[in-house]
Amino acid sequence: AQSVTQLDSQVPVFEEAPVELRCNYSSSVSVYLFWYVQYPNQGLQLLLKYLSGSTLVKGINGFEAEFNKSQTSFHLRKPSVHISDTAEYFCAVSPRGDSSYKLIFGSGTRLLVRP
Amino acid sequence: DSGVTQTPKHLITATGQRVTLRCSPRSGDLSVYWYQQSLDQGLQFLIQYYNGEERAKGNILERFSAQQFPDLHSELNLSSLELGDSALYFCASFGGDGDGYTFGSGTRLTVV
């Protein structure tokens, strides 16, 4: 079985400051890794994904994440946030070899960007 | 517009009732997934259909059922509704590793 832990339920940060949203996972098999963003009253939008290859993944809106296999982490970073980045962010995994490709989500981190 | 259409956007119903949520996947995607987002359980995978057949089941209650029709749209049926079923229900379609998931904007179900 797989589980995803997002330790921070809310992260307040000032505009133009850097931010890191933490994600750790537990799995007995290799996984694909994802970060999704949910703006108020909207569905989930893919920020970035790690399938294989380089452990540093760049996504949309200036976000990037680094896969660390030894620490089973996939932290999301942005060097300078904007007010418009205020949203809920979800880390998710999908077990490799599982033909369903279902996603197991973390509990989410609310990023609150203040002016 | 993500390409995945969910209707209705909002639904208010009484306990004990039955409702049907509808999802049309992105053009060309054969897989449809249903997820439930609630305050206490977070985002949970319910069920997956691929080209009309059930492919995987998650934490879906026996009171809930789903199907995918020949035109690939899917319906999630929720019966004997309880207050705890109040949640946002998302549909997503999957276009393979390269395209990944596309989520709809969800149906917000309120059971009163």
pLDDT tens per residue across span A34-71: 999 999 888 899 999 998 889 999 999 999 999 999 99
pLDDT of residue A41: 80
pLDDT of residue A10: 97
Which tokens is B59 given?
A: 């934490």
Query: Is B105 in Cβ contact with A100 (below 8 Å)?
Result: no
Side chain identity at residue B13, one-letter code: T
Backbone torsion region of residue B41, taken as left when φ is above 0, otherwise alpha when ψ lies between -120 and 50, otherwise beta: alpha
Does the pLDDT of residue B98 top 60, yes or no? no
pLDDT tens per residue across span B30-54: 999 999 999 888 999 999 999 999 9
Confidence tier at B100 by pLDDT (50, 70, 90): confident
Q: What is the DSSP letter of A64?
A: E
Query: Is A45 in Cβ contact with B42 (below 8 Å)?
Result: no
Q: Provide, as residue numbers in chain B, all residues whose Cβ is less than 8 Å from the Cβ of A90.
A: 43
Distance CA B111, CA B95 (A): 33
End-to-end CA distance of chain B: 30
**The pairing of beta strand A10-14 with beta strand B42-50:** unpaired
- Identify the residue with better confidence: B100 or B72: B72
Contact A61, A80 (CB under 8 A): no
Is residue B105 classed as helix, strand or coil in its secondary structure? coil
DSSP H or E segment with residue A52: none
Closest Cα in chain A, distance from residue B1 (Å): 10
Does the pLDDT of residue A98 top 80, yes or no? no
Give me the residue label for tokens 């035109």.
B71
Percent of chain A whose predicted confidence (pLDDT) is above 90: 78
Which tokens is B110 given?
A: 């309120």
Query: Is A105 in Cβ contact with B42 (below 8 Å)?
Result: yes
Per-residue exposure over A45-84, b if at least 16 CB sit within 10 Å of its own CB, e if not:
bbbbbbeeeeeebebeeebbbebeeeebbbbbebeebeee
